[in-house]
């Protein structure tokens, strides 16, 4: 496996001056991001099918072990505050269970039965999407979760850092992040982990784009949880609806903090009409363009 290989360029990194070692590690991070760019088409294809499959009810689930599993959890939990993705439409299958977020659970990644059981217990089905992540691409827990999900009709997306691995073969969409050897041999929390984080950010954000939760580059469905975000929401409504800031603030209050509803109210719809429009088939972007003067 390339992620486990020893790169002779770094065999004495522990003896180098710290500045040189840090510079070499950061070069590795840059190379990792370039590896993601090389598979951008695969990420886009997976995002398009995932967004269509999810519809209005499907769940996004993540499966992984160790660093890869934690990166998946980090990506998923950020979808709720950033895009308003409902918490009940998220699922996380982490080898070793929730305790593995904070500490290593030895041997958990080898438990195929646990991977399958996690998917069964969550009752994943045809409306759902499972993203399995493993640097090696051969983690039994993650492969088993992907196989079980696929058997149950869920869309499966496999993300791995080694070409020709079992995980990529198991998923319907295969995203290869070929990051190669690490500066510290086998430490896939470095380049491989960085590539996984960048790829999952791009994948999940693209899904949110296709789900209509972004309008003209703005997070129009974010959750307002503090004063800073309240100001950002009012600014968005002012910009999108073309109204004065005081009207934007009033509409946001009237909408109960829902930015998209506030925009529709500011554009002249009544309360019930705004909610009905947002729940209908017409995309938010099309609604705004139709209602704008």
Q: What is the rounded CA–CA span in Å between residue 248 and residue 130?
A: 38
Paired strand residues for 250: none
Strand pairing class (60-64; 129-134): parallel
Is 109 annotated in the active site?
A: yes
Reference 178, options 1, 46, 15; nearest CA is 1
Is 19 annotated in the active site?
A: no
Catalytic, out of 11, 30, 52, 78: 78
Q: What is the rounded CA–CA span in Å between residue 212 and residue 51?
A: 10
H helix intervals, the chain: 18-37, 40-54, 66-77, 79-83, 112-121, 140-151, 166-170, 191-210, 227-241, 245-254, 259-266, 271-279, 284-291
Reference 233, options 248, 212, 255; nearest CA is 248
- Cα angle for residues 92, 99, 1 (degrees, 5° grid): 70
Catalytic, out of 109, 148, 182, 234: 109
List the catalytic residues.
78, 109
């Amino acid at each position: 496996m390339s992620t486990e290989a020893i790169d002779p360029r770094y065999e004495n990194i522990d003896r180098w001056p710290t500045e040189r070692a840090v510079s070499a590690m950061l070069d590795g991070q840059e190379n990792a991001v370039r590896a993601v760019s090389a598979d951008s088409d695969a990420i886009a294809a997976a995002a398009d099918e995932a967004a269509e499959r999810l519809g209005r009810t499907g769940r996004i689930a993540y499966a992984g072990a160790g660093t890869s599993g934690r990166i998946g959890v980090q990506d998923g939990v950020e979808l709720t505050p950033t895009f308003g993705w409902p918490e009940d439409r998220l699922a996380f299958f982490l080898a070793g269970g929730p305790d593995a977020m904070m500490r290593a659970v030895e041997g958990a990644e080898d438990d195929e039965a646990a991977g399958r059981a996690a998917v069964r217990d969550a009752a994943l089905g045809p409306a759902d999407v499972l993203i399995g992540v493993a640097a090696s691409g051969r983690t039994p827990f993650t492969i088993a979760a992907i196989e079980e999900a696929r058997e149950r009709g869920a869309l499966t997306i496999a993300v791995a850092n080694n070409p020709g691995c079992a995980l990529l073969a198991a998923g319907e969409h295969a995203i290869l992040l070929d990051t190669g050897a690490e500066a510290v041999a086998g430490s896939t929390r470095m380049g491989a982990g960085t590539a996984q984080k960048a790829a999952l950010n791009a994948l999940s954000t693209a899904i949110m784009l296709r789900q209509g939760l972004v309008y003209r580059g703005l997070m129009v469905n974010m959750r307002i949880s503090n004063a800073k975000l309240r100001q950002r929401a009012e600014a968005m409504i002012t910009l999108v609806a073309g109204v004065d800031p005081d009207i934007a603030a009033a509409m946001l209050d009237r909408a109960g903090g829902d930015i998209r509803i506030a925009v529709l109210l500011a554009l002249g719809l009544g309360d019930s009409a705004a909610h009905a429009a947002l729940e209908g088939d017409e995309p938010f972007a099309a609604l705004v363009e139709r209602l704008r003067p």
